[in-house]
Amino acid sequence: MNKKANTLFFVLGATVVNILFMTILFVAGLILIGQLPESVQENAGQILVIVPFFIAIGVSFFLYNRLMKYLTTKIDMDKYFHPIFSRRRTPPNNE
The number of domains in the chain is: 1
Q: Are 47 and 20 a contacting pair, CB within 8 Å?
A: no
Q: Is residue 89 part of a domain?
A: no
Asked whether residue 48 is domain-assigned, the answer is yes
Residue 78, pLDDT > 80, answer no
Confidence band for 87, pLDDT divided at 50, 70 and 90:
low
pTM for this model (two decimals): 0.71
Determine, yes or no, domain membership for 38: yes
Quick check: is 25 in a domain? yes
User: Is residue 52 in some structural domain?
Assistant: yes
Q: Name residue 33's amino acid.
A: I
Q: Which domain holds residue 37?
A: 3-76
Within a domain: residue 91? Answer: no
Instruction: Look at 79 and 65; give whichever has higher pLDDT.
Output: 65
CB 52 within 8 A of CB 33: yes
Residue 33 lies in a domain: yes
Task: Indicate whether 72 belongs to any domain.
Answer: yes
